[in-house]
């Protein structure tokens, strides 16, 4: 559909950035569109023109796409209208830029355009040590961090559409990559947790916060503070003795909050530590109420964000939200678009978990809804791979929880390919043909890196998994032909499925043939190992192309190391089995090892279809690998 936008120069410029990309074009001679501010989000067509009423700037672009989707190229009729109400005060997407993948600024611009036509209010950049900080030369060292100029450029582009760019940093834990630098060793208590109570720590944190204050136009900041479960158990205890962890946490939080105030910033933080620090065996399941000293010990001007991505039942979220509502603070919620399971997303699970949590938020008066896109253990998965989940959240932000034809039509104009074809991007995480959303797993990654000789994860497999991946590969090849600009994403998934067709059961096949002394089968498997090497190389190149289209170079070295190690182990397996077949070796010792269940059930092998092991080291070996 063609629109002529009658608006200020900046709004027209923003619309031109979207023109031709999402099912509509902005050009002279198109249907006239007038924009006005009001108390609701609405559109009406009368006397040959559209009038869009918006509460916030980003709704202009959401409206253009909605009109185009609903009319489908038809001429509008007199009286066409819609009115919609936001479920949430703010809908945000947070992108992890710290787990090796630092998105290029061009990638962020592309992401912002998609967020704008979906009506997202803000984009969060999660940066543990991936932005340049004054006085901290090791902060971002060899991590290709964002400079002040990078951030300002993205900030300005976001503002063009009315999308707020928000820094998500850490001020307590999750500084794993910094712990390797001797120059910063004095800052740490234990593991990746900062040493609370030390002036050098607060000087360091002030450098982080003041940098954010100078680079971002927003006056909001997310200060992290999650998962610091060993707080006060290292150097802090050596210096100060054992103290209640909430006491340590509370004092630290007040110092950080004071720094934020100094720079005119309003902080938000993750809420989990308040529950963890007061946990008993019963409280760990939210069975008890929070102690009064916890509820009153958090500065009231800090927004607490309850994060939870792992449930599909509304009542579970609702009960946990009830405990959060006991705080006098503003409460927000963070869900997840599951892109942290390796190379492959899980949009299907994201749909159900996000829907359940959103309904619970509405029931409990929680007004801020964040969709997180984490990248645990390597950030191998593209943020665009979770477009279906992001689109769904944008729809229920206006009350529409359905995923029928209207949803699919709207998605097609967003992504440029059919919804059902795009959803094949999830397939490498499907190890059964069941239609059970609770079967979320990281099979794409653990079956890739599960060692062909040691095979500790072999016990989780069903016979026929390789054949299932052959079917996945066919579906992905078909989808790739419809993928348009996302062809590179589907090429990666297709190449991965071809690898897993051979790789998934290779350890099982080798062990079985060896145990039966079936040398003909072993010889055939050696040939398949050589074919597997070729397929791994093809996958590596496809994933490398995807990475370098979207991300800065540093961080891919980890893929070189991991996939390089995978190829070497496949070569070693072929060599060892070949030597055995030629009589050059009496045995293949690894294949004589008796298997034990990966899940800890000894000789009773559990076929675990809900296996979300994401840690590369645990997939590859039981030997020292630190």
The DSSP string of 293-354 is: HHHHSS-TTSEEEEE--S---HHHHHHHHHHHTTSSS-EEEEEE----SSSS--HHHHHHHH
pLDDT above 70 covers a percentage of the chain that reads 98
* Mean per-residue pLDDT, 357-367: 97
Chain segment 382-427, per-residue pLDDT in tens: 999 999 999 999 999 999 999 999 999 999 999 999 999 999 999 9
Chain segment 468-527, per-residue pLDDT in tens: 999 999 999 999 999 999 999 999 999 999 999 999 999 999 999 999 999 999 999 999
Q: Is the pLDDT of residue 284 over 70?
A: no
Instruction: Give yes or no for a contact between 375 and 101, defined as CB atoms under 8 angstroms apart.
Output: yes
Q: Is the pLDDT of residue 176 over 90?
A: yes
Q: How long a stretch of residues is the chain?
A: 626
Instruction: Give yes or no for a contact between 540 and 563, defined as CB atoms under 8 angstroms apart.
Output: yes
Angle at the Cα of 570 from the Cα atoms of 380 and 594, rounded to 5 degrees: 105
Chain segment 563-606, per-residue pLDDT in tens: 999 999 999 999 999 999 999 999 999 999 999 999 899 998 98
| DSSP code at position 577 | H
Residue 607, both tokens: 């076929």
pLDDT of residue 190: 97
């Amino acid at each position: 559909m063609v629109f002529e936008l009658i608006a200020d120069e900046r709004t027209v410029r923003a619309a031109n950035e979207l023109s031709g990309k999402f099912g509509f074009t902005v050009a002279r001679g198109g249907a006239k569109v007038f924009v006005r501010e009001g108390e609701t989000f609405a559109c009406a067509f009368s006397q040959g023109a559209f009038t869009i009423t918006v509460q916030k700037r980003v709704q202009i672009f959401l409206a253009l796409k909605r009109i185009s989707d609903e009319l489908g190229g038809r001429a509008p009729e007199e009286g066409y209208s819609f009115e919609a109400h936001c479920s949430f005060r703010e809908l945000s997407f947070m992108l992890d830029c710290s787990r090796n993948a630092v998105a290029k600024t061009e990638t962020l611009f592309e992401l912002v355009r998609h967020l704008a036509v979906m009506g997202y209010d803000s984009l969060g950049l999660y940066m543990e040590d991936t932005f340049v900080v004054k006085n901290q030369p090791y902060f971002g060292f060899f991590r290709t961090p964002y400079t002040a100029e990078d951030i300002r450029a993205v900030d300005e582009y976001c503002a063009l559409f009315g999308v707020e760019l928000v820094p998500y940093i850490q001020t307590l834990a999750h500084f794993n990559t910094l712990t390797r630098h001797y120059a910063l060793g004095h800052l740490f208590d234990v593991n990746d947790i900062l040493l609370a109570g030390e002036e050098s720590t607060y000087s360091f944190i002030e450098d982080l916060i003041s940098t954010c204050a100078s680079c971002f136009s927003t006056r909001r900041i997310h200060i992290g503070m999650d998962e610091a479960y060993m707080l006060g158990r290292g150097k802090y205890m050596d210096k100060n003795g054992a103290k209640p962890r909430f006491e340590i946490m509370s004092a630290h939080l007040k110092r950080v909050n004071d720094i934020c105030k100094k720079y005119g910033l309003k902080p938000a933080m993750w809420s989990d530590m308040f529950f963890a620090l007061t946990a008993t065996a019963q409280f760990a399941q939210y069975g008890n109420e929070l102690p009064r000293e916890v509820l009153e010990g958090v500065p009231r001007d800090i927004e607490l964000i309850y994060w939870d991505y792992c449930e599909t039942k509304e009542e579970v979220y609702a009960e946990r939200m009830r405990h959060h509502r006991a705080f006098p603070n503003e409460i927000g919620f963070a869900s997840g678009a599951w892109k942290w399971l390796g190379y492959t997303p899980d949009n299907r699970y994201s749909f159900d978990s996000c829907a359940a949590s959103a309904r619970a938020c509405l029931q409990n008066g929680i007004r801020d809804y964040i969709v997180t896109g984490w990248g645990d253990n390597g950030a191998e998965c593209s943020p665009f791979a979770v477009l279906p989940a992001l689109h769904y959240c944008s729809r229920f932000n206006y009350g529409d929880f359905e995923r029928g034809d209207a949803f699919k039509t709207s998605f097609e104009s967003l992504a440029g390919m059919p919804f059902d074809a795009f959803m094949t991007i999830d397939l490498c995480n499907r190890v059964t043909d069941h239609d059970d959303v609770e079967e979320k797993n990281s099979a794409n990654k653990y079956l890739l890196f599960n060692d062909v000789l040691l095979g500790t994860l072999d016990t989780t497999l069903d016979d026929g998994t390789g054949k299932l991946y052959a079917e996945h590969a066919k579906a992905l090849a078909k989808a790739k032909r419809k993928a348009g600009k996302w062809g590179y994403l589907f090429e990666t998934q297709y190449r991965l499925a071809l690898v897993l067709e051979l790789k998934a059961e290779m350890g099982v096949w080798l062990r079985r043939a060896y145990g039966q002394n079936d040398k003909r089968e072993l010889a055939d498997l050696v040939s398949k190992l050589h074919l597997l090497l070729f397929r791994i190389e093809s996958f590596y190149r496809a994933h490398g192309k995807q990475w370098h289209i979207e991300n800065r170079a540093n961080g891919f070295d980890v893929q070189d190391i991991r996939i390089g190690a995978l190829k070497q182990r496949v070569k070693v397996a072929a060599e060892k089995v070949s030597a055995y077949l030629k009589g050059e070796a009496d045995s293949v010792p690894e294949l004589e090892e008796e298997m034990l269940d990966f899940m800890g059930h000894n000789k009773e092998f559990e076929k675990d279809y809900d296996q979300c092991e994401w840690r590369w080291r645990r997939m590859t070996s039981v030997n020292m690998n630190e």
